[in-house]
Every structure is written in C-alpha cells, then in structure tokens.
Amino acid sequence: MLPELDTLEEITAAFEWQIPPRFNIGVSSCDEWAEKTPDRIALRRWNRGASSTETSYGELKAQSDAFAAFLRAQGVKPGDRVAIILPQCEETVVTHLAIYKAGMIAVPLARLFAADALEYRLNRAGVSVIVTNRDGLEKISAIHASLKDLRQVICTDSFEYENIEADLPFPVWLFEQAIKQGSSEKFVPEETRPDTPALIIFTSGTTGPPKGALHGHGVLLGHIPGVQEHHEFMPKPGDLAWTPSDWAWAGGLLNILLPCLYLGVSVAYGGIDRFDPELAFELMQDMAVANAFIPPTALRLMKTVENPGKRFDLNLRTIGSGGESLGKETLSWAQSELGLVVNEFYGQTECNLVLSSCHAVGVLRPGAIGKPVPGHVVGVVRPDGSLCDVGERGEVAVKAPDPVMFLGYWKDAKATSEKFVGDWMLTGDQCVMDEDGYFRFVGRDDDIINSAGYRVGPGEIEDCLMTHSGVKLAAAVGKPDRLRTEIVKAYVVLADETEPSDLLIEDIQRHVKARLAANIYPREIEVVEEIPLTTTGKVIRRVFRERARNEAGLV
C-alpha cells in the first residue's frame, strides 16, 4: 500500500514491497473481506432506469466456493486452464475467483472475438473448460472439432440448452446448475504462492500473432501501488469504480476489477454492450462513479458529447487513462469540461502499471505519461541494454524481478528470452525521459513514422486529427515514399452528418499543420467507414500500415 505523503519522492523512499510467501488472488480479493464484513457491497450492476443490483462479498464467496468445488468434482485440477468468454457480469467475477481459489489458471477472452480468434487462443493455451454465455457457446459449437483439449463447457444462459448440448461431444452444464451442485461440497482453497501460475492474458495483437502472457498470483499485489497512485490514494470514503474496458483485458481486469475488490472498493458494471459516450456519462451519473479507468480512444469519443459537465451530475474524483498515448488536447478537455485532471499511466500486458501520473502529489506534465510508480525500476534503454541519456530516444524497459512482471510467455521460451536484455524487460515502446524524470511516449518501434529524417509517433497526430470537428476517429501510419522515406498518411472516420470533400481534406490538413507542425501533417488523408480496434480499444495500425504499403507498390 502506498503511504500517503506529500511528494512522489517521499512516497518512493518510504515504500517497500511486502510480498507474503503464500498469496491467493481469490482469497485476498473476496474471502478476507467476506469473513470480516460479509454484507459489504462488492459489485453494483447498472440497470438503466431502475435501481442497481448489488452483490456482497459474502455472496461472492459462497458462489465462488461452490463453483470451485464443482470444477474440482469434474476432475479439473490445479494448473488446468479455464477460459472465460463473458461480458462484464456477476458470473465473470464468480468464475475468476473460483479459478484462483482452486489453483487453476484463468484465460479471459474477449466475447467479441470471432470463432477463428477464439480457436487460436483456446488451442494455444490448452483450455479444457470454457465458461461462456449463449453467444459464446454458439461460436464454440462451430469450432469444437478443432479444440483438442476442450472437455466441457459451462453456460450462463439456458436458451436452447438441450439442442446445443446434443450437437457437442462433451457435457454442457448450466452455470446455475454447477453452483447448485457445488454448494453441497465443502471447499478449502489451494495454498498458492505469488509465483504460482494464475492467469494467461493474450497480448492485444497490434503486432504479430497474440502471445499468452502468464502471470502468477502476485501480479495483483504488483498492481496495487499503480492503481493507488493514479486514483490518488484509493480507497477513500465514497470511492466506487467503473471502466468501459472489457474485463477480459488486463486494463479492465487488473486496473479496476481485481484491485478494487482487493481494496474493498465497489465496482460498477453492466448496461453498455457496445461503448456509447452518452450512456457512459449516464452510467457514471446514476451510479455515482468516483473512480474511472477510461482508455484514450473512449475519452476521445466522449469529447463528442456536448456540455457533459453541465448535462450530467457527476461524482468523479479520479480518472485514469492508459493503453495508448492520451494527448494534450484530451487532457485539456477533461480538465475544462469535467473539472478534474486525467492521470495518465503506462504498462503493457506483460508488465502493467509501472509509470503513472498523480495530480494529488504534483506528478503531472501534459504530453508525458508520468514517472516510475514506487516499487518499480523503469528506464529508457538502448538496444544493448545501456541507459539512454536524458532526452535521448530509446526503449522503455522494466528491471526484473518485479511483482507485476509476467512469468513468461505460455510455452514460448524463445519469445520470453527475446523480451529481455540482461535484467531489463523490453516493452517495444519508444520514449524519451526529460530532465525531471518524466517519460514521454513516442510510439511502438513498428508504429514510428520516419519522414524526411523526422521520427514521428502516430499518437499525437491522431489526437490532433480528432480535434477537428469533422473527424470522429483517426489512424496515422507511415506510407513508403521515395523522396521522404515515409509520408504521414491518415485514415479517418468522419463525424456524423459530415460529408467528404476535397475542401474538407484540405481543411483537416491545415488544422494539423497549425496545431502540430508542417513537417508531420498527413500528406494523404483517406476517409474510411470504420477503424478496427483491438478489444482493448487500441487502433490496429498494422492493418493500415499494410494497406499503405500496398498502395505504394510494396508487398
């Protein structure tokens, strides 16, 4: 836990890790609260236009104990992989807690994945049990013949249960049936260590095939200082957390859900199947959300809502944002419209929440993603692992060992080894560190645009593009060019009721020239119907890089 002192320097000097020899995510984030205060509210579901539905820690413990006992009775052993393909719902939380308490390994997968994407990840992780809903079950039905390790499915919906079960060569249980059957069994959690495998989270796939990052139980403890920093010493009286991010992603699961349960902070969820900025503001108002994790892309979409600070009665105390560069414009908008500073932070699936801003202690600089979180050693390094000088561009790296760091890529020792140079875990992200110790994000190695000798990160260009009234969403990439090596090409989704025209394109280009610089404006702009995003809300620039290369005659 972070000591609440006046400066980051004082906090860092006073902080030290206290990692116990035995630690279990499920026990620490549910059972310990349930034993002390069983009626304490853990989850609050938003029911638009009606009262919220509350779930206590005591209820979560009873259900997760029962589900864990059921899994054990079905022959699922510690170390076996159990996939979760569900939206934000109570069953998702119960399943996670049960898996951890039973010593199994959770494999959260985004419910928006198509069948092929699921097939790759399920086979890669060797998943033997899947917990999903009717939509997920239909996808599994289409690919079950190729899922060589799958033994059974638990479904949270009862619709057409008998028909679906008849088509599959393994048992399909109803979730409520599993809970009922397991509730008659006595359950005692496994004794796990911080390095006992607990969780496989697949990388988002912005570069190359997704890899499964394996984390131990101690990863939850590793996240606590970062969560407390960007949420300014959470927990505070009245804190209640929410994120639009899928709980299948490290951001939703490890930035909000599990840390907040561990800290005793209620988590709001539900009511938004597909992100809608108006609904997001309505939910935060109705649920009196005090602490939100909102990725930059979602914040940019929320900028399109007119006068949110006046139209909605918000109770926000903190907003954290990370996953991609936030940009000065979005930071300024939040401060003027919502009346608070967004604390930007940085991490990745393999080693999350290692850099952060914290306005409460004066750690904030527009255009920067903060300083190292207490307990983490973070540097900017050259390819040989030596530290860069102040102002020198290099790769963000985290010093091992670190409680938040992954144990390795699942069954991929080569990729794990390539992730390190000595004791430094390389992130693949380019940064510079200024004279005050702030890290300024430039972009991923493969995202960098090299135009006439200028190396440009796409984030600031995209952020600037979206400040134009005619642009709703944007992606910027480098297009090969004989004269300049690369030119900046932008793909944009136009705002509603905006018609494409040459005059509009020219106006957007002038807009970027005026706000950024004449040498990095998009020399080409193409209007598209949509911009593909990962399940984490990041722009999949790889799609547009390949498209630009094809346009330039390079295959």
Q: Which residues make beta-bridge pairs with 12?
A: none
Annotate 423-439 with DSSP letters as a single string. TEEEEEEEEEE-TTS-E
CATH superfamily of 8-12+22-433: ANL, N-terminal domain (3.40.50.12780)
pTM of the model: 0.87
The CATH code belonging to domain 446-551 is 3.30.300.30
Rounded mean pLDDT of 491-500?
94
Q: What is the pLDDT of residues 438-465, one digit of tens each?
A: 999 887 667 878 776 666 778 878 988 9
Q: What is the pLDDT of residues 311-331, one digit of tens each?
A: 999 999 999 998 777 878 889
Using alpha carbons, list the distances in angstroms from residue 254 to 12, 67, 115, 261: 22, 22, 25, 10
Residue 485 has pLDDT above 90, yes or no: no
Q: What is the pLDDT of residue 555?
A: 54
Mean pLDDT computed over every residue of the chain: 92
Q: Report d(CA 63, CA 57) in Å as an integer.
A: 10
- Band the pLDDT of 166: cuts 50, 70, 90: low
Q: What is the pLDDT of residues 33-65, one digit of tens each?
A: 999 999 999 999 999 999 999 999 999 999 999
Using alpha carbons, list the distances in angstroms from residue 84 to 154, 409, 452: 10, 19, 47
Residue 110 has pLDDT above 70, yes or no: yes
Percent of the chain's residues with pLDDT above 70: 95
Q: What is the pLDDT of residue 455?
A: 66
Rounded mean pLDDT of 1-15?
97
- Band the pLDDT of 536: cuts 50, 70, 90: low
The reply to whether 8-12+22-433 and 446-551 are identical in fold is: no
- Name every residue whose Cβ is closer than 8 Å to that of residue 251 and which is 6 or more positions away in sequence: 243, 245, 293, 295, 322, 323, 352, 536
CA 111 vs. chain centroid, Å, equals 14
Question: What is the 3-state secondary structure of 485-534?
Answer: EEEEEEEEEECCCCCCCHHHHHHHHHHHHHHCCCCCCCCEEEECCCCCEC
Q: What is the pLDDT of residue 207?
A: 52
Rounded mean pLDDT of 494-506?
95
Amino acid, res. 56: S
Question: What is the 3-state secondary structure of 56-116?
Answer: EHHHHHHHHHHHHHHHHHCCCCCCCEEEEECCCCHHHHHHHHHHHHCCCEEEECCCCCCHH
Record the tokens describing residue 114, joined without a space: 């198509």
Q: What is the pLDDT of residue 490?
A: 97
Domain ranges of the chain: 8-12+22-433, 446-551
Q: What is the pLDDT of residue 77?
A: 98
> How many Cα atoms sit within 13 Å of 18 on the Cβ side?
4
Q: Report d(CA 199, CA 79) in Å as an integer.
A: 10
Q: What is the pLDDT of residues 339-384, one digit of tens each?
A: 999 999 999 999 999 999 999 999 999 889 999 999 999 999 999 9
Q: Report d(CA 209, CA 118) in Å as an integer.
A: 13
Rounded mean pLDDT of 418-426?
97
